[in-house]
Amino acid sequence: MKTMVIAAHPNLNQSRANQAFTKELARHTGIDVRNLYEEYPNWLIDVAKEQRLLLEYDRIVFQFPFYWYSCPPLLKKWFDDVFTYGWAFGPGGDHLKGKEFIVATTTGGSENGYRSGAHNGFTISELMRPIQSTIDRCNGTFLPIFVTYNADEGTDDYLRQEAQRYAVYIQASMAVIAH
């Protein structure tokens, strides 16, 4: 399975958790990691290139820090620009059919804070429904989300373990992930 990770962190070089993730992924074959903010510092997304890349991969992973209950703004723009009518959805929009998608996110908060009635009011899965709905609308297969909680306060050892867990997760078969 050919996997592309789209890392969408505005300050990837300053993120201990997301750096740990990308460093771990570099040790694995069959996973290509792209830094969206590095590739598009001017926010002018090359739609044809992005669509061509999506066709080359079986699984696409969106890796980002959880920003105000959503993804960072450049990734949202990427969705808006790349998932076009007639290509990703609508008549003739079947290019993402059969593609697997995973959201991999990090939060500064604890897992207990992401529960119904807790500090954040909802689970991560509930808060990611707009992205899941987007993938569903585009005929992709949305797989369960990978989350690392307490990323801000995590020790180097914790982040290393989470990075290893992340690498195993995104390489696992759909049957294992979606059991």
Which positions are annotated as active-site residues? 108, 114, 119
Evaluate whether 73 touches 81 at the Cβ level (below 8 Å). Answer: no
Three-state DSSP class for residue 155 = coil
**Closest C-alpha to 110, from 150, 67, 152:** 150
DSSP one-letter code for 14: G
**Greatest Cα pair distance in the chain:** 49
Cβ atoms of residues 157 and 107 within 8 Å: no
In sequence order, which residues have a C-beta less than 8 Å from that of residue 105 and are 6 or more positions away?
A: 63, 64, 65, 66, 71, 124, 128, 145, 146, 147, 148
